[in-house]
Amino acid sequence: MTVDAELTPKVADVGSRAAPRKGRRLRAFLRNPTFIAGVAILGFFVLLALFADMLFPGDPMDMVAQPLLWPGDDAQYPLGTDSLGRDVLAQLVHGTRASLLVGFFAAAIGLAIGMAVGAAAGFFGGWTDTLLMRLVELFQTTPTFLLVIVILVIVDPSLPTIAMAIGVSSWPTVARLVRAQFRSLREADFVMAARSLGYSRLRIIVQEILPNALPPVIVAASVMIANAILTEAGLSFLNMRDPNVLSWGGMIGDGRDQLRNAWFLTALPGAAIAMAVLSLNLVGDGLNEILNPRSDQS
């Protein structure tokens, strides 16, 4: 029983080894052009959202010029003005905030619920699984968009409630994904090893299985954010939005009356949405390639 005493002197300098491995991981990310393109575009939008107040100080909802200026008509308003004479570029930049925020929070809520339900169903199996999966099917048989609308009819639409509504209606996909992962991973030898070391079930779920189940979930998350942004745009278009908050969908909704004479009012925010969604999909594809163990060369 004196192993500790015997070996204590051998405890030498520790660490200094993690750095090169992280470098390798980083290189794997940098080698992936899809991922880089996605991150670049997404990063651009995030920066816009962060520095919107600096780039365009003042309220973007203020009427600043004559209405319906076309892009290029006035150098001060490069993307023109809408029917109320508001700067389209300022609105676009400020709208990034709402769209991204709703996207991220809706995905976070969806992921949290989905992961909890999926992990419980997949790990415990049996009755828990049957019950939770019926619940998932109940949600999946309802069209997502319809469900969001129903929720927003009950609660007043504002950024948090919109994010919550989208999150609550988008978790079943994640739950199924996580459940499938847990079902195969719970039989893994390292889970048996963890049980043989006396770890509790919660600990095995959170610490042993969950990190191994994450790669497909991370990929799904980026697509969830994209979907949430799209859904938010659709809701704003239908006027189910917080009237005091600018968003791309809201701009499209406002611009649709001028569709024939000022199509740029809908096309520009539409393009912004398309770019954001595209960037998130690129990030998702890139992550899929990078995190897929079969494509791992390191």
Partner 1 sequence: MSLLSVEKLTVAFPGQVAVRETSFAIAPGETLALVGESGCGKSVTAFSVMRLLPPNARVASGRILLEGTDLLALSPAGMREVRGKQISLIQQEPMTSLNPVLSIGLQIAEVLRRHEKVSRKQARARAIELLDLVSIPDAHRRIDDYPHNLSGGMRQRVMIAMAVACHPKLLIADEPTTALDVTTQAQVLDLLDDLRHRLGMAVLLITHDLGVVAQWADRISVMYAGRIVEQAGIKPFFAEPLHPYSRGLLGARVDVEADEHYSRNRLSEIPGSVGSALGEAGCSFAPRCPIAVPGCRIAPPPLVAHGERAVACPRVGA
Q: Give the footprint of partner 1 on this chain (CB under 8 A).
A: 1, 3-4, 7-8, 10-15, 17-18, 21, 188-190, 192-200, 207-208, 211-212
Residue 147 contacts residue 164 (beta carbons within 8 Å): no
CA separation for the pair 47, 42 (Å, rounded): 9
Nearer to partner 1, 29 or 190 (CB): 190
Nearer to partner 1, 183 or 195 (CB): 195
Nearer to partner 1, 5 or 154 (CB): 5
CA separation for the pair 15, 153 (Å, rounded): 56
Nearer to partner 1, 9 or 57 (CB): 9
Find the shortest distance in angstroms from Cβ 14 to partner 1: 6
Find the shortest distance in angstroms from Cβ 171 to partner 1: 24
* Backbone torsion region of residue 57, taken as left when φ is above 0, otherwise alpha when ψ lies between -120 and 50, otherwise beta: beta
Residue 288 contacts residue 219 (beta carbons within 8 Å): yes
- Residue 81: name the closest of 95, 64, 68, 63 by CA: 68
Find the shortest distance in angstroms from Cβ 107 to partner 1: 22
Nearer to partner 1, 54 or 197 (CB): 197
Nearer to partner 1, 18 or 154 (CB): 18
> Which SS3 state, helix, strand or coil, does residue 40 take?
helix
Compute, in degrees rounded to 10, the torsion defined by CA atoms 58, 59, 60, 63.
-100
Q: Which residues contact 140 (CB under 8 A, 6 or more apart)?
A: 172
CA separation for the pair 30, 28 (Å, rounded): 6
Find the shortest distance in angstroms from Cβ 208 to partner 1: 6
Nearer to partner 1, 57 or 211 (CB): 211
Find the shortest distance in angstroms from Cβ 298 to partner 1: 9
Q: Where are the alpha helices (DSSP H) in 51-188?
A: 52-55, 88-124, 126-141, 144-154, 159-185
Find the shortest distance in angstroms from Cβ 32 to partner 1: 20
Residue 183 contacts residue 125 (beta carbons within 8 Å): yes
10 Å Cβ neighbour count for 194?
A: 18
Beta-bridge partner residues of 81: 87
Find the shortest distance in angstroms from Cβ 177 to partner 1: 17
Find the shortest distance in angstroms from Cβ 294 to partner 1: 13
Nearer to partner 1, 24 or 256 (CB): 24
